Chain A
Amino acid sequence: MIEVDRKKCLRCGGCVSVCPATALTLTEHGITVNDNCNNCGICVNFCPVEALKRGEK
């Protein structure tokens, strides 16, 4: 699953727009990742501030 580094994330929500699995949500507290995530990494590639990374599994 994708991991969010809350210290880097600016909560812009851009990653949500490219997620093909509708796994990301922009909330008041930042980006959350749900079980639909298949760790594909498209959002990691998009993130302007390197706040996302692919998890172990």
Chain B
Amino acid sequence: MKEYDIIVIGCGPAGSGAAKTAAERGLNVLVVEKRAEIGAPKRCGEGLSRSSLKRMGIEFDRKWVRREIIGASVYAPNGKMLRVDYKEGPEGWVIERKVFDKYLAEKAAEAGAKILAKTEATEVKRTENGITVVLESQGSKWKAKSPLIIAADGVESKIARALGLNTTLSLTDVASSVQFEMTAIDIDPDRIELYFGNEVAPSGYAWIFPKGEKTANVGIGVRKPWAKKSALLYLQDFIQSKPGLKKGSILEVNSGGVPVGGLLENMVADNLIVVGDAAHQVNPIHGGGISEGFIGGKLAAEIASQAFEERDFSSAFLEKYNKLWWEERGKALLKLLKLREVVERLSDEELNWLAEYLKGEDLIDLARSKGLKRLAKILMKKPKLIKLAKKLL
């Protein structure tokens, strides 16, 4: 049986973040990815902000960029647009996930990790001194063993559950999402567009993320029970309502569940750390998880490296990960979750009313969980919203 220091299951950004960092710390790492191609099919709008890339500590490379983004147009239910302009140069990019994810995997491999695509962990079993993983690829089957598993297996989170850590999402914490990559459409190719409203996208939003002059990811995420029909029907209605989209062609269809809530107090068990979508490490405001996953993986590898120094892989030791992640990311994400829980309880009339008081710059602040007091103050102008506004303070 092959033995490794760490077996990472899943080679998305979270798996690569864990593998790269662990390999840099001198650990012997195997990464298995069940899909035949890393990064595809995507379950993602492919937006990446400059600040997120910086937090990941990854170098910019033009090869994964489809379009530079200089701002956003945010639409209230009545169609009023708030224009967000970033003053410090391009705010981010719409990327090509299958190029980007492979780029991250290359970095992990350069650091010394061994990566195997089209290799699935079909069984995991805890033994006295670690975890045995049954791996299957192209009809062959073998076993590998390590004292520590990092589960980066996506929103399905099968590995955590198989090892006794319940990561099942509540229906209200996962955005049901559909996206078409469209072309031959009329768009603002330099700005992302976001549409809010209980008719357009209940407890979610619709987006247009440009990938070219005439090409964009056009998608929608909604949450039940507030959504009264499927995400696909909401998306089709959204496209029908926009002549510039309606006439377009569809290049790709994606769907997915985005864990926009349900942050986990505990992401470890004996011999196990869970990271990325599998651990619900996603920005609850916009549903972005590329940088959160990568950082979640990186932090897991740091704790893993300490675990190897102490030769202690018990949940009691690995709990250091919970503390570190909550300090580094969890607190900030929880604040954003609270903000969202307030905003999404507003009716369309209230959202339209609120949009009159906000400027583009306020939205930048709010997305960085700043200016919550100012928002509370505005909401308090309406007696009906005072109780809700207090949740922001």
The interface of chain A, by Cβ under 8 A from chain B, is: 10-20, 22, 25-26, 28, 42, 45-50
Contact = CB atoms under 8 A, between A and B. Distances in A.
Nearest to B227: A45
A43 B133 CA distance: 28
Given A12-B254, A14-B257, A17-B259, A48 B156 contact: no
Given A13-B156, A18-B169, A26-B156, A49 B43 contact: no
Nearest to B219: A48
Interface residues of B, number: 29
B364 interface: no
A52 to B, nearest CB: 10
B169 A17 contact: yes
A18 B257 contact: yes
Interface of B: 34, 41, 43, 154-158, 161, 167-171, 174, 176-178, 224-225, 230-232, 253-257, 259
B174 A14 contact: yes
Contact of B257 (A17, A20, A22, A28): A17
B168 A10 contact: no
A11 B170 CA distance: 20
A46 B170 CA distance: 10
Contacts of A46: 171, 174, 176, 224, 257
Contact of A16 (B156, B171, B176, B253): B156
Closest 9 pairs between A and B when the two form their complex, measured CB to CB? A14-B257, A48-B231, A16-B156, A12-B255, A48-B255, A12-B256, A17-B155, A13-B156, A48-B176
A18 B161 contact: no
B155 A14 contact: yes
Given A18-B174, A47-B176, 5 more contacts: A45-B224, A48-B230, A49-B178, A49-B230, A49-B231
